């Protein structure tokens, strides 16, 4: 601390693979969040396009929901829409609430944004496997059995992904950066 000239000014000596005013960033682990990537560069004019709503509108028809594959696609589009809404909330919180430290915001939004891509990957894999199964079965493909399997697999995938990433919110912290040069900022870090 430099108490003689400015009591608020401090310098952190970072360990290897760490950087930032408070050594809050690392290059050795996968711990970077949306705050660290775009926090200081967010522009209010940026807009998000909700493309997945059109998928929901087309899939909601009863004829389109006859197989399990369609259920996966419906869940993917709903999850995508929810992810875009949460991402929009994250942008709003970065722009409007940059000076506020909200631990719950840090934990839940980052957790959902981290779970979403993994759930997308698993649900797309389930969709692929069902399509392969329908091609191999040909005319003997059982749509009723497909829907039953999907109703069992969907909750299992969602619960397993949620549990496998449960360590993330338990280890997440809001770090207040008091640097007078960068402006006051709260970082959401692991």
Q: What is the pLDDT of residues 87-141, one digit of tens each?
A: 888 777 777 665 555 677 777 888 888 888 899 899 999 999 998 998 898 888 8
Give the Cα separation of 155 and 49 in Å (integer).
Answer: 28
Mean pLDDT of the region 145-159: 92
> What are the structural domain ranges in the chain?
43-189
Query: Residues 63, 64, 65, CA angle at the centre, nearest 5°?
Result: 90
Q: What is the dihedral of CA 119, 103, 170, 28, to 10 degrees?
A: 80
Whole-Å CA distances, 9 to 2, 19, 136, 178: 6, 17, 67, 8
DSSP helix, strand, coil percent of the chain (3-state; round to 5): 60, 5, 35
């Amino acid at each position: 601390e430099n108490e003689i000239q400015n009591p608020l000014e401090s310098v952190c000596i970072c360990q290897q693979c760490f950087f930032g005013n408070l050594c809050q960033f690392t290059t050795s682990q996968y711990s970077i969040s949306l705050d660290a990537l775009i926090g200081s560069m967010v522009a209010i004019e940026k807009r998000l396009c909700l493309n997945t709503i059109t998928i929901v509108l087309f899939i909601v028809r009863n004829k389109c929901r006859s197989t399990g594959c369609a259920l996966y696609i419906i869940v993917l589009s709903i999850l995508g829409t929810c992810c875009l809404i949460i991402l929009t909330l994250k942008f709003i919180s970065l722009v409007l609430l940059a000076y506020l430290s909200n631990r719950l915001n840090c934990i839940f939004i980052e957790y959902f944004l981290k779970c979403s891509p993994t759930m997308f990957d698993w649900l797309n894999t389930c969709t692929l496997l069902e399509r392969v199964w329908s091609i191999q079965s040909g005319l003997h493909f059982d749509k009723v059995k497909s829907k039953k399997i999907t109703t069992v697999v969907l909750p299992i995938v969602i619960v397993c992904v949620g549990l496998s990433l449960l360590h993330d919110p338990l280890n997440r912290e809001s770090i207040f950066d008091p640097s007078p040069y960068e402006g006051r900022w709260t970082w959401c870090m692991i």
